[in-house]
Amino acid sequence: MSDTLDLAIDLISRQSVTPEDAGCQKLMMQHLARLGFRSEVLRFADVDNFWARRGDEGPVFCFAGHTDVVPTGPVERWRSDPFRPEIRDGKLYGRGAADMKGSLAAMVTATERFLAHHPRHRGSIAFLITSDEEGPSVNGTVKVVELLEARGEKIDWCLVGEPSSDVHLGDVAKNGRRGSLGAVLTVKGVQGHVAYPHLARNPVHDAAPALAELAATEWDRGNAFFPATTFQISNIQAGTGASNVIPGSCEVMFNFRYSTETTHEQLRSRVEAVLDRHGLDYAIDWTLSGLPFLTPDGELVDAARHAVRDVAGIDTRLSTAGGTSDGRFIAPTGAQVLELGPLNATIHKIDECVGVDDLDRLSSMYERILKRLLT
């Protein structure tokens, strides 16, 4: 049992289904207090967050992450209780093992070892931890960042512990993310009897050609860092449930994951132009969940590459694929942001797990990144 494995088991044992924290942050702050960190508990609405910092000078290196986890799904389908961590065949099983309580444990133990060898490091080390990453993400990291910005407290480098790896620990690091723009489109019609369509107007029929055009549109071709922007319909609802009633309205949910080649304003304008051209009677509610961001080669990327090569003997591939992360709230402040964490093969799944050896190796990677940047 290593210190990292021990702490990971303690964190996974706490049922912190979003937005609950279940004492995870208190446990982390107790460890950090022994290392000389000053922690601020920052609760917004029903969300627990904390900001901890050791040092008063810059540059500021920040570990960022979340203690909340997604629901377990059917517990009976798990081979073991998702909140009673179990080691089998060299893997630690439990909800949050990979996303991202294993990373949180690695962050803390890496910091402990680094400070034991470098108590007078340059700059500052910080932790920004939330319990609202898997949920709406409105009272978590974004609120803490707003507070830090208001008082002029800047993060220079931010390492997010999201599970970035593909086949081997450290083979992929995320140096950016696509933007996310969602919408709920309501197409209005006239309800009526299916036998008398001339007395009604079917909003599903009206919407179909426009939706087909949107689905077939090339929004951009991406660039060297980002894949092409994608449009996906995630839900369509209409009708009363009766087979002989023409619906009076149709609701369509869709989402863009977009590159830096396109802005959210351009996407909105192009979509609405298509809807108008098809003569739809509609209302649309847009939600911008995150802007795209990119961290180019620099000190943080370089430090991570060296750390992965030293520990795992492989070269890291930079990627901007995947969903959103809380890095989208930190990058706009000017910080270099990078995501480096365990394998993502089992995240959000039944029997989520992380390699036991990977936990210690990840902690070693984090320690080497600290050493490269702050000594």
The token pair at 339 is 């995501």
The token pair at 154 is 């800047």
Cα torsion 11, 17, 21, 25 to 10°: value is: 30
Q: Check residue 292 and give its pLDDT.
A: 93
Contact between residue 192 and residue 200 where contact means Cβ atoms under 8 Å apart: yes
pLDDT (mean) for 98-114: 98
> Within a 10 A sphere around the Cβ of 200, how many other Cβ atoms?
17
pLDDT (mean) for 17-44: 98
Q: Check residue 249 and give its pLDDT.
A: 98
Contact between residue 130 and residue 136 where contact means Cβ atoms under 8 Å apart: no
pLDDT (mean) for 259-284: 97
Q: Check residue 38 and give its pLDDT.
A: 98
Closest CA to 239 of 202, 211, 195: 202
Instruction: Give the tens place of pLDDT for each residue, 295-350.
Output: 999 999 999 999 999 999 999 999 998 888 999 999 999 999 999 999 999 999 99
pTM for the whole structure? 0.89
d(CA 374, CA 317): 24
Contact between residue 300 and residue 374 where contact means Cβ atoms under 8 Å apart: no
Instruction: Give the tens place of pLDDT for each residue, 215-233.
Output: 999 999 999 999 999 999 9
Q: What is the CA radius of gyration of the chain?
A: 23
Instruction: Give the tens place of pLDDT for each residue, 190-207.
Output: 999 999 999 999 999 999
Closest CA to 179 of 286, 260, 64, 65: 260
pLDDT (mean) for 258-272: 97
Residue 21 has pLDDT above 90, yes or no: yes
Q: Check residue 323 and give its pLDDT.
A: 80
Tell me what the pLDDT averaged over the chain comes to: 97
Residue 1 has pLDDT above 80, yes or no: no
Closest CA to 58 of 126, 144, 150, 116: 126
Q: Check residue 210 and give its pLDDT.
A: 98
Contact between residue 358 and residue 92 where contact means Cβ atoms under 8 Å apart: no
Q: Check residue 321 and give its pLDDT.
A: 87
pLDDT (mean) for 133-158: 96
Instruction: Give the tens place of pLDDT for each residue, 146-167.
Output: 999 999 999 999 999 999 999 9
Instruction: Give the tens place of pLDDT for each residue, 78-102.
Output: 999 999 999 999 999 999 999 999 9
Instruction: Give the tens place of pLDDT for each residue, 34-46.
Output: 999 999 999 999 9
Looking at the annotation, which residues are catalytic? 68, 133
The token pair at 117 is 């060898």
d(CA 250, CA 252): 7
pLDDT band at 14 (very low <50, low <70, confident <90, very high): very high
Instruction: Give the tens place of pLDDT for each residue, 204-215.
Output: 999 999 999 999
Contact between residue 181 and residue 258 where contact means Cβ atoms under 8 Å apart: yes
